[in-house]
Amino acid sequence: MRAAPKIVLERHNVRVIGDTGPTVVLAHGFGTTQASWNHVIDALPGDARLVLFDLIGMSAATDQHYAVSDYPDLWAYARDLLAILAAAGIERCHYVGHSVSGMIGLLASIRDPSRFEKLILIGASPCYRSLEGYPGGFEQSTISAMVTAMAGDYSAWVESFAPAVAAAPRGDPTTDDFVNCLRSMRPDVALSVALTIFGSDHRAHLPLARTPCVVAQTRQDMAVPMAVAAFLRDTLPDAVLEVIDAHGHLPHMAAPDQVAALLRRHLALDRGPHPAAEPPQRS
């Protein structure tokens, strides 16, 4: 049974900022929440309607709604995204997805292309594993060791994983924020979601995409090598690659002005004061 719009909006903590101009959906990645976009939002214009939400199981606020059987793959998250758009009355939008949310948005656009004007994929990957002829970034042995570390001592794993992903040591604001977000997740849920993400392989689905894409990638990212960004650009039917002059997997947190400039340029947004946040319309 399909959930009522109000329930969908509440369970995903949907937040809408502004009520005029183009609709831009901002989707966060693993280990973060919609708050990871806050500094980017500050640098965006006031003539855009921004929509933010939390992915089920990928933030502490949504752990209670997570069940392994409900989220066996990324298609389940794509289904959630389409449900959010429908519940919020969004007929068409520009979609910005960080990390795994990039692929979630792409899958949703394949399922219902009428909802999407353009996709901006920041640090996205169709497959995080290095396979024959494909340098995904993680060897299977590395993934197995990570899973063992997460299951054995989650807090210690966070302390080693976060600085590597952020490409900055502890004490750096981006790294510390990422540590706090990861620590706020239930370890069992974090492990289950990580297994889903690292087990995904959507390379075969890329040619099915019909929405124009911007593949945005930092110069150095331990989670997503530049070769993966090039693979996306070359495999998607309509895509361009733009390099963000930053390091690490979290440019929207570490270099928000550069990410905001990229969004303004590719979404044709103008500068201007930003309106106060408003609750989503619920029916």
Residue identified by tokens 């901006």 is 120
Residue 243: strand pairing partners = 217
With cut-offs at 50, 70 and 90, classify the pLDDT of residue 59: confident
Residues 25, 93 contacting (CB under 8 angstroms): yes
Q: What is the percent of the chain where pLDDT is above 70?
A: 94
- What the block records as the tokens of 15 is 């937040």
Task: Give the distance, in angstroms, between the CA of residue 161 and the centroid of all CA atoms in the same chain.
Answer: 18
Among 54, 80, 177, 221, which one carries the catalytic annotation? Answer: 221
> What tens digit of pLDDT does each residue of 101-113 get?
999 999 999 999 9
283 is catalytic: no
Residue identified by tokens 């319309």 is 281
Among 99, 101, 109, 130, which one carries the catalytic annotation? Answer: 99
- What the block records as the tokens of 48 is 């855009």
154-166 and 187-198 helices cross at what angle (nearest 10)?
A: 50
Among 28, 39, 94, 249, which one carries the catalytic annotation? Answer: 249
Residue 119: strand pairing partners = 95, 213
Provide the H-helix boundaries in the chain: 5-11, 38-42, 74-87, 100-111, 140-152, 154-166, 173-184, 187-198, 226-235, 251-254, 256-266
* Element containing residue 279 per DSSP (H, E): none
> What tens digit of pLDDT does each residue of 30-47 get?
999 999 999 999 998 777
What local confidence, expressed as pLDDT, does residue 19 receive? 86
> What tens digit of pLDDT does each residue of 203-221 get?
999 999 999 999 999 999 9
- Which residues fall within 8 angstroms of residue 112, CB to CB, at 6 or more apart? 82
Tally Cβ neighbours within 10 Å of residue 205.
16
Tally Cβ neighbours within 10 Å of residue 131.
12
Residue identified by tokens 């369970």 is 11
> What tens digit of pLDDT does each residue of 117-129 get?
999 999 999 999 9
Residue identified by tokens 């449900």 is 83
Choose among 59, 256, 70: nearest CA to 174.
256
99 is catalytic: yes
What local confidence, expressed as pLDDT, does residue 280 receive? 39
176 is catalytic: no
Tell me the CATH architecture of domain 5-127+201-278: 3-Layer(aba) Sandwich (3.40)
Q: Where along the chain do its domains lie?
A: 5-127+201-278
